[in-house]
Amino acid sequence: MAEIPGSWKASEEHLAKANAVIEATKASGNLYRHGLGMIASENIVSPMVQKVVCSDLHGRYAEGLPGKRYYQGCDDFDTIESIGIDLAKKVFSAEFANIQSISGTVSNIAALKALAKPGDKITAVSTADGGHISHARMGAVGLRDLDLSTYPWDIDRMEPDVDGSCKLIREIKPKVCLIGQSVFLFPTPLKEIAAAAHEVGAQVMYDGAHVLGLIAGGQFQDPLREGADIMTGSSHKTFPGPQGGFLLSSTTDEKMQRQLNNAIFPGTCSSYHLHHVAGKVVALAEFEEYGESYARDIVQNARALGESLAAEGFDVLAEGRNYTASHQVLTRHGDVDSGAGATAAQLLEDAGIITNMNMLPGDTKALKPSGLRLGVQELTRVGMGKNEMAEVARLFAKVLIEHQDPDKIKLQVKQLKSSFQTIRYCFNDDNQSGYVL
């Protein structure tokens, strides 16, 4: 009997590499199962989303739109994507929705492709003030070769200076006014800025990557009703789906809708990861049912965390505005460009608390920032509430203020997390744990 290629013996060297990947994957799962995931750009998905993401769809293609494909075998996926488009329009109160984008950044590239030509002027929040890298010359804005000007920033309010931003827009007359941040504590004064933009004929693009779930849940702001023409976003932050993106609009203009669809395919995506699209659709159905309460609880927890950290003695930004109106909290841990944020993040990881260092106003060195950016959406997802936010703040203080042994605090973190292993705000399943492998 002839040997079947790939079905029998594998070399120990190659098998060892594959096993090393499996073991590292398990270790990562355990890190978050027993620790506190507090990175503001992350979340965990429901068991039902996991099922469709880990399906045969992962290796399939469906270029084009439902009913207009370049491959055969897409009828079932047409059903999935059609349900998703309808759900996205409803959940985000949008006239147009494309759910194919593989990330928030790809959504931004596509939107900029649809709205502007190389050399056109654009305004955005600078990365130093919390803008995302895709809003900068180093990212999507540079990729499209756009002429970037950044808004003046109100440090006390942690938002664009309204008068200065409107003045800038009227002076330079950009083609696109991009609103949104990676550090996103408060709703942007969008109505005023959008009015100035439309006055000079500019399109308003709102990047809601971080706050998309809060927007859909009615707990932040409503960009498409406040003047935004296009809204982009991620499907895996406060919106608790798999990795991916959305492209949404209030436009009913069929030509613009075609431009937006074409900007995704063939503009920025060929294969668009059908398993992730299916996961988004399940997450949209779950969000329609539970999203408002999830978004509300996220915002309440973030504010409770900010208050508790301040009570423990931390320098929490935006005290005058009650610290936050989103899922994020910002803390300063030393002088500008001191690297204190990086040091704090490492000490917290040693204690089982996963955060990220972040530049704060005044910082100029991305790898030596003074601050931390904290997110509560994952902790909320597993059922933590205001009382637990106080406990989390106490653990922060033990590590960073009282300088207790991180290894000992890690045991306390594990004990706290042991009671919060069940995914909430989703459809019931035999196994609700989100910490797989």
Mean pLDDT of 370-395: 98
386-411 in b/e form (b: 16+ CB < 10 A) is: eebbbebbbbbbbbbeeeeebeebbe
Q: Which CATH architecture has domain 291-417?
A: Alpha-Beta Complex (3.90)
Q: Does the pLDDT at position 398 exceed 90?
A: yes
Q: pLDDT (tens digit, 9 = 90+) per residue, 206-234? A: 999 999 999 999 999 999 999 999 999 99
Q: Does the pLDDT at position 341 exceed 60?
A: yes
Q: Specify the range with the lowest mean pLDDT, choosing from 76-90, 357-371, 372-386.
A: 357-371
pLDDT category of residue 5 using cuts at 50, 70 and 90: low
Mean pLDDT of 162-186: 97
Amino acid letter, residue 137 = R
Q: Does the pLDDT at position 84 exceed 60?
A: yes
| CA–CA separation, 275 and 198 (whole Å) | 38
Domain boundaries, the chain: 50-286, 291-417
Mean pLDDT of 166-192: 97
Q: Does the pLDDT at position 60 exceed 90?
A: yes
Q: Does the pLDDT at position 172 exceed 90?
A: yes
Structure tokens at 197: 């933009």
Q: What pLDDT does residue 428 have? A: 79
Nearest Cα to Cα of residue 286 among 434, 74, 106, 419: 434
CA 420 to chain centre: 22
Query: Given the structure tokens 């859909």, which residue do they identify?
Result: 216
Q: Does the pLDDT at position 137 exceed 80?
A: yes
CA distance to 37, 134, 154, 248, 298, per residue, from 382 (Å) = 11, 30, 35, 29, 11
Q: Where are the beta strands (DSSP E) in 228-380?
A: 230-236, 240-249, 315-316, 328-332, 353-354, 356-358, 371-375
Strand partners, 316: 331
Amino acid letter, residue 261 = N
Q: What pLDDT does residue 437 have? A: 46
If you average pLDDT over every residue of the chain, what do you get? Answer: 95
| CA–CA separation, 47 and 177 (whole Å) | 39
Q: Does the pLDDT at position 7 exceed 80?
A: no
Q: pLDDT (tens digit, 9 = 90+) per residue, 244-303? A: 999 999 999 999 999 999 999 999 999 899 999 999 999 999 999 999 999 999 999 999
Q: pLDDT (tens digit, 9 = 90+) per residue, 119-135? A: 999 999 999 888 998 99
Structure tokens at 56: 């045969």
Strand partners, 246: 233
Task: Pick 436 or 299 by higher pLDDT.
Answer: 299
Determine contact, residues 331/246, Cβ cutoff 8 Å: no
Q: What pLDDT does residue 4 have? A: 61
Structure tokens at 383: 């059922």
The answer regarding whether domain 50-286 maps to CATH 1.10.340.30 reads no
Q: What pLDDT does residue 271 have? A: 87
pTM, two decimal places = 0.95
CA 344 to chain centre: 23
